Amino acid sequence: ERGGYPHFMLKEIHEQPRAVQETLAGRISEMEGDVRLDLGLNQWEIQTLQRVSILACGTSYHAGLLARYFFPRTAGLPVDVEVASEFQHMQLRPGTLLVAISQSGETADTLMALKKAKTCGVKSLAITNVVGSSITEIVDATIYTRCGPEIGVAATKTFVGQLVALFLLGIRLGRARNHLLPEQGRRLLGELSRLPGLIQAVLERRDQIREIAQRFSGADIYFFIGRDILYPIALEGALKMKEIAYIPAEGYPAGELKHGPLALITEGTPVVAFATCGEKIYSNMKEVRARGGEVIAFAAEGDREAAEITDTVVELPNTLPVFSAVLCTVGAQLLAYYTAQILGRDIDKPRNLAKSVTVE
């Protein structure tokens, strides 16, 4: 049932090229540079949207954070993202599209927040992996991620499916609002279609990533840093390390390190730097080195600057920075997985956790 893999998590990590193909299947319209998705909104409603508000928990919340960077660029729409259990009585004004993200579609915190938010009378959309799950009954429309069942408690392929669903949504909103030209839509979608192959190339770096995991498996803390669209991936990388390897891990916006956490960096502290989105992170990587920390960089193929700062560079295939978020994610998943395996953790059923959290 695990298809020859020792754990469901590793199997599901390897299913990601296929999962992304499924999330994209039949939804790309090459000619118009547009996306086919039913959002439960008419053209006028899309054009007059003022903002998008996203509710989710855990890994799904990290997917939501990525939309906060993407939607303003593609669709000119500001995005609020809130952890569902912290949703208070935020006044949602007309013109807001409410998006709830939940792999299982059964997370109590997300369902309760969504019900509360809906009392403001706004339109709502769910992004979920489970057909007919409770969340789909509450919303006006659903985007399915179509990743197939996920058994491992740690979300992997469904997170990547959520990112891809959000990319599609951002492009659809952008095209419908004339914020993106057909040309720009085509460019983004062309690159998005290459993702399955690019993910496969990252999977092929598994031996190198396993060696890195081995080298740092005795660490008492891990840091993950990223900027812009890669900041949510830093949070997600740290979450994976905590939940399956039980190593304390902090995800930080790279520029924030010097505002406090740098005090925790000592000789040999591993700092994973996602370096595929802009030059600014190089100075943060140097700050780490100067304190004796070890930088593990995920950087684009041929990135000489990253290679000058650290010997530990995992090269990722070139793509647009926004889509490199998916490639960095896959690298972080493998790093957490191998660390947990080396430490003998119960990877598919980490202590104290359940696949779907149906209590508030």
Enumerate residues 234-273 that contact ligand F6R by CB under 6 A: 239, 243
Q: Are 145 and 160 in contact (CB under 8 A)?
A: no
| 66 binds ligand F6R, rule: CB under 6 A | no
Select 83 or 307, whichever has its Cβ closest to ligand F6R.
83
CA dihedral 39, 110, 327, 261 (to 10 degrees): 140
By beta carbon distance, the residue nearest ligand F6R is 58
| 356 binds ligand F6R, rule: CB under 6 A | yes
| 329 binds ligand F6R, rule: CB under 6 A | no
The secondary structure of residue 6, as a DSSP letter, is S
Enumerate residues 141-160 that contact ligand F6R by CB under 6 A: 154-155
Of the candidates 16, 60, 124, 339, which one interacts with ligand F6R according to CB under 6 A? 60
| 341 binds ligand F6R, rule: CB under 6 A | no
Q: Across-strand partners of 296? A: 272
CB neighbourhood size of 182 (10 A):
13
d(CA 274, CA 152): 25
Of the candidates 10, 57, 98, 238, which one interacts with ligand F6R according to CB under 6 A? 57
355 catalytic? Reply is yes
Enumerate residues 85-114 that contact ligand F6R by CB under 6 A: 102-104, 107, 110
Q: Catalytic pick from 116, 242, 349, 355?
A: 355
Q: How far is the CB of 114 from ligand F6R (least distance, A)?
A: 11
| Binding piece for ligand F6R, criterion CB under 6 A, among 16-24, 55-63, 69-77, 306-314 | 55-63
Q: Give the DSSP letter string of 241-291.
A: IIIII---EEEEEGGGGGGTGGGG--TT-EEEEE-SS-STHHHHHHHHHHT
Of the candidates 17, 33, 58, 232, which one interacts with ligand F6R according to CB under 6 A? 58
Structural tokens at position 115: 């019900």
Q: Are 184 and 41 in contact (CB under 8 A)?
A: no
Q: Give the DSSP letter string of 151-186.
A: -SSS--HHHHHHHHHHHHHHHHHHHHTTSS-HHHHH
Element (H, E) at 206: helix 206-215
| 16 binds ligand F6R, rule: CB under 6 A | no
Residues catalogued as catalytic: 355
> Which stretches of the chain bind ligand F6R, using CB under 6 A?
57-60, 102-104, 107, 110, 154-155, 239, 243, 356-357
